[in-house]
A and B are shown apart, each in its own frame.
Chain A
């Protein structure tokens, strides 16, 4: 449910909703949700000073009902930088 909720939240705020991917990974410390978006939407999802990414984390954490969950916005183009 968390991955689906996060995907919905992100799809609604980007220009390329069909390029939004959320992958859930479990490790010892809990769940990590990896968000991938179109390169042009990266700034939108992170926001000024990380504001939007923080808002996404806050809402996902609230829905997680106390379970630890990480939200990572993955810059798939970083290797080129």
Chain B
């Protein structure tokens, strides 16, 4: 029986009795599970202290951990305060949550936090913004500069613009970093 180069997912009920060699980095799946657990604990206790009602869902999808804080009561004001204007509070909370994972596990986290379905709604808005910019560029043949966005949001817009066959680049630094959509070369 060999334990080298196995690619199975860890068996929680199994007899994991091997020495340090077997834990080198762990499997990616177990690392993401641990990441989700650490993040959920961090957020759960915050909700508790702040007396905000919300359930925490953890999902691991294409190598990333997605954490959602959701509420059954759709008009929950507490949750929307955790989104903030333009998702500002959500981004801050995501950053702190990633740091909590780094502290607990010593590995950097790329987890994505969502609150109250904000990212889905915003994703649809961004797709519309990208579509409108593409339409304008096609009509006028000129570049269109969009409002500054976070790296996460720029990625969404870049993907939509690329799907529609035009070019996009990020320009500016820091909080001013924004996308410029331009006609394709051909």
Contact = CB atoms under 8 A, between A and B. Distances in A.
Contacts of A23: none
Bin chain A's interface residue count. Answer: 20 to 34
Contacts, number: 55
B19 interface: no
Interface stretch (B27-35, B42-50, B141-149): B42-50
Interface residues of B, number: 21
B92 A54 contact: yes
Given A13-B96, A52-B96, A56-B96, A62 B89 contact: yes
B93 A1 contact: no
Q: Is the contact region of chain B dominated by helix, strand, or loop, or is it mixed?
A: helix
A72 B178 CA distance: 31
B96 A59 contact: yes
Given A58-B89, A62-B81, A63-B81, A9 B96 contact: yes
Contact of B95 (A1, A4, A55, A63): A55
Contacts of A54: 92
A4, A15, A54 pick with most chain B CB within 10 angstroms: A4
A51 B91 CA distance: 11
B103 A13 contact: yes
A59 B93 contact: yes
A45 B82 CA distance: 20
Interface string A30-70: 00000000000000100000011011101100110100000
B96 A1 contact: no
Interface string B80-98: 0110100011011101100
Given A1-B50, A13-B96, A59-B93, A8 B45 contact: yes
A4 B47 CA distance: 12
A8, A9, A15, A44 pick with most chain B CB within 10 angstroms: A9
A25 B84 CA distance: 26
Contacts of A44: 99, 103
Contact of B81 (A9, A12, A52, A65): A65
Contacts of B49: 1, 4-5, 8
A1, A15, A51, A63 pick with most chain B CB within 10 angstroms: A63
Given A12-B42, A12-B103, A15-B103, 8 more contacts: A4-B49, A51-B95, A55-B91, A58-B88, A59-B82, A59-B93, A62-B82, A62-B84
10 contacts: A1-B50, A5-B46, A5-B50, A12-B42, A12-B99, A44-B103, A51-B95, A52-B96, A58-B84, A63-B50
